[in-house]
Structure 1
Amino acid sequence: MFKRRIGPHPHEGDGNGSGAANSCPDIWELDSGDFAIIGTDQTAHLRPHLPSDAFLDPGEGIVVLPRQVLVKARESIPLE
């Protein structure tokens, strides 16, 4: 199911958004070609602030990924 990590390991180097051993924001490509995000669930906090044209369906949530994680993963994200 999990095909490959997108970007560096969460504990590799400094400033990857992982402050401790139990905080591991991460991006994974799945066998299906979709992506799985490991981050902080901020649904309850951010739902009331969604723009009027954004919606959460049942089963969906808002996951926050530290900026630095996505920036470091940029070169590993497939274009197609």
Structure 2
Amino acid sequence: MFKKRIGPHPHAAEGNGSAGANSCPDIWELESGDFAIIGMEQTAALEPHLPSDAFLDPGEGIVVLPRHVLIKARESIPLE
């Protein structure tokens, strides 16, 4: 199911990596080609502030991924 990590390991010592005591946000490519995000679940706090053209369907939630995680993963994100 999980194919490969996108970006550096969350415990990488460089920059904003987790030391193991903090949360470990992560991005994974799945065998299906979709992506799984490990981040802070923030649906209750953020859903009331969604723009008027954004909706959550049943089973969906809002996960916050720290900016540095996505920036470090940028070069590893497949283009197709």
Aligned ranges for residues 50-61 of structure 1 at < 5 Å? 50-61=50-61
Matched residue, 1:7: 7
Give the partner amino acid of 2:10.
Answer: P
Q: Evaluate the alpha carbon distance shift between residue 32 and residue 50 of structure 1 in structure 2; reply closer, same or farther with a 3 A threshold.
A: same
Show structure 2 runs of 5+ residues with no match.
none
C-alpha RMSD over aligned residues? 1.2
Percent identity of the aligned residues? 81
Show structure 1 runs of 5+ residues with no match.
none
Q: How many residue pairs are counted as aligned between the two chains?
A: 79
TM-score (norm 1): 0.93
Give the partner amino acid of 1:56.
Answer: L
Cα distance in 1 between the residues matched to 2:57 and 2:16? 33
1:78 aligns with 2:56: no
Give the partner amino acid of 1:14.
Answer: G
